[in-house]
Homo-oligomer: A and B are copies of this chain.
Amino acid sequence: MQIALLGGTGDIGQGLALRWAQDTDHDVIIGSREAEKAKAKAQEYETELAGRDCDVSIAGHENADAAAAADVVVLSVPAYYLSDTIDAVADSLGDAILVSPAVGMQRDEDGIHYNPPGVGSVTALAAQAVDDVPVVGAFHNLAAGKLANLDAELDWDVPIVADDDDAKATVSELADGIDGIRPLDAGGLANASEVESLTPLLINLAANNEGLHDLGVKFW
């Protein structure tokens, strides 16, 4: 499968790109607002993986070109760039599935708080911004640093929400392809806010408890 990571030059985009390239046979495409930056990052990831005896080719394109080439498009951009990024690629999505991992958060003196848009969740905002494109909420609760550190063994759950069952199954399979990730069905898009709000909790727990950092979650 062709997976485009828009905003694949940093944060969880980097970790997802490296892990999918290393752990699966899917083709990874890095998207960025600037094609040159995307290509440079793609090459950087290739070099890192080659150093681990993993010879893969990773493409790098401007966001719309990356989206046009992909079966699954991951919006790995901060929540406040989400609408602009979708606008920029909407005409290029074709039959692709759109994946939203972003979370709206706000910091004050008490720490980090969940701060969803009026529509209820960032995932719902993504769904509202596109017509006839299946939207899946996933990968909200992954710690970017640990995800991108290929020496780190993962053992995390990934709750997934979608109204389109086929799209949900496809993204679950993609998540399952990463070693140490277990996809879990968290319901429809209306259940996205409970998944997203777990992210500020993870950040607050890491900030308040010595020895805990780069937190993910396991349900049992």
Contacts and interface: CB of A to CB of B under 8 A. Distances in A.
Interface residues of A, number: 34
Nearest to A157: B205
Interface in A171-220: 184-188, 190-191, 193-195, 197-198, 200-202, 204-205, 207-209, 212, 215-220
A91 interface: no
Contacts of A20: none
Q: Taking the full assembly, how many copies of this chain does it contain?
A: 2
B110 A220 contact: no
A185 to B, nearest CB: 4
A93 B100 CA distance: 47
A16 B198 CA distance: 24
A193 B114 contact: yes
B205 A185 contact: yes
A187 B219 contact: no
B190 A110 contact: yes
A111 interface: yes
A134 interface: no
A220 B217 CA distance: 6
15 contacts: A184-B209, A184-B212, A185-B205, A186-B204, A187-B207, A191-B204, A194-B197, A194-B198, A194-B204, A195-B201, A198-B198, A198-B201, A215-B219, A217-B219, A217-B220
